[in-house]
Amino acid sequence: MARQTSVEKLDKYDLYLRAVQDPPAMADFLEGVYRDVNRKAPKTLREDFSGAFALTCEWVTRGKDRRGIAIDNDAKPLAYSTRHYLERMDAAEQKRVKVLKADVRSPKLPTADLVASLNFSYGIFKTRPALVKYLKQVRAKLSAGGLVVLDCLGGIEIASQMSSTAQLDGFSYTWEQEDFNPLTREAKFAIHFQPDGKPLSRRVFTYDWRMWTPIELREILQELGFKQTYLYWQGYGRSESVPDSGQSWTAYVVGKK
């Protein structure tokens, strides 16, 4: 068994960015969805549960009219991104980024054209009333015709404990599903990292979520007064059909105010 090393010795936010995120591709996707629905370009992105808000930083670099709002209730990743990403941007770009240590359910948050609630983080709201409260505030802070984008993880693999490992540039990344309750759809996940030639760091990030289904999310959005809901599939675009491979998939539920 590989020895475990201290999480504090890892640059865990950098490893997470390199293993899990692709801010340029996600910014392309979000803008593409907005243009597909509204036939015009969005300007302001609000990244809920933003963590180290690399997506927000990417967004504002794409035009002088682009503004980004990063919201998280954990000061550590916000401080990390401020040092490593935000301060490397030019002064004009920095002024178009608003970083807020706040609850995403707060009624005092700024208005945006797009609210992205990604990486399944809204799954911390495990009951319907809790999720409704969050999405009600999201709708209130969307501009006219604004969109909320929620990602969903599904497929038959989600119903079993499993793990997958990928070898990346200089380190390996393992995504492990530690537990799944088929009655409540509550699931626990962990991310492990192992830099090349160094001991394994287990459970660097852990998650305890309810895995909401697309139909549940769409019904809630419709009940809250969103005019339209749409379903986008990773790699397939907008479609009401399930992709050919049902083993594992990522979908995006979109609600239009």
pLDDT at residue 5 in the model: 42
Within this chain, do residues 88 and 194 fall inside the same structural domain, yes or no? no
| 209 contacts 179 by C-beta, under 8 angstroms | no
Is residue 191 located within the same domain as residue 244? no
Both 201 and 233 in one domain: the answer is: no
Residue 256 has pLDDT above 70, yes or no: yes
In a domain, 19, yes or no: yes
User: Is residue 228 situated within a structural domain?
Assistant: yes
Q: What is the pLDDT of residues 40-64, one digit of tens each?
A: 999 999 999 999 999 999 999 999 9
Q: Find the farthest-apart pair of alpha carbons in the chain and give their distance in angstroms, rounded.
A: 55
Distance, in Å, from the CA atom of 191 to the CA atom of 1, rounded to the nearest integer, reads 17
| 74: number of Cβ within 10 Å | 12
By mean pLDDT, which of 67-76, 129-138, 232-241 is the weakest?
232-241
Same domain, 59 and 135: yes
On whether both 236 and 205 belong to a single domain, the answer is no
pTM assigned to the model: 0.94
pLDDT band at 245 (very low <50, low <70, confident <90, very high): low
Distances (CA, A) of 64 to 44, 91, 96: 11, 12, 9
Answer yes or no: is 252 within a domain: yes
* pLDDT per position as a tens digit, 150-205: 999 988 888 777 889 999 999 999 999 999 999 999 999 999 999 999 999 999 99
Return the closest-CA partner of residue 256 out of 131, 146, 94, 141. Answer: 146
Q: Identify the CA nearest to 154 among candidates 208, 204, 205, 215.
A: 215
* Burial class for 52, CB neighbours closer than 10 Å (0-12, 13-18, 19+): buried
88-146 tens-digit pLDDT: 999 999 999 999 999 999 999 999 999 999 999 999 999 999 999 999 999 999 999 99
Domains: count for the chain = 2
Based on the fold, state whether residues 221 and 231 are members of the same structural domain: yes
28 and 58 in a common domain? yes
Specify if 7 maps to a domain: no
Has residue 2 been placed in a domain?
A: no
Amino acid 1: pLDDT: 30
Query: Are 175 and 101 in the same domain?
Result: no
Q: What is the span of the domain harbouring residue 143?
A: 12-154+211-256
What CATH number does residue 128 fall under? Answer: 3.40.50.150
Q: How many CB atoms lie within 10 A of CB 227?
A: 10
Which structure tokens are listed for 102?
């706040």
Q: Are residues 97 and 123 in the same domain?
A: yes
For 6, phi and psi rounded to 5 degrees? -70, 135
| Same domain (yes/no): 38, 136 | yes
* Residue 24 sits in the same domain as residue 113: yes
H or E stretch at 46: strand 44-48
pLDDT of residue 6: 44
Cα angle for residues 69, 223, 217 (degrees, 5° grid):
60
Instruction: List all residues 6 or more positions away from 30 whose beta carbon is below 8 Å from its beta carbon.
Output: 42, 45, 59, 114, 116, 149
**Does 205 reside within a domain?**
yes
112 and 26 in one domain?
yes
Mean pLDDT of 29-50: 97
End-to-end CA distance of the chain: 52
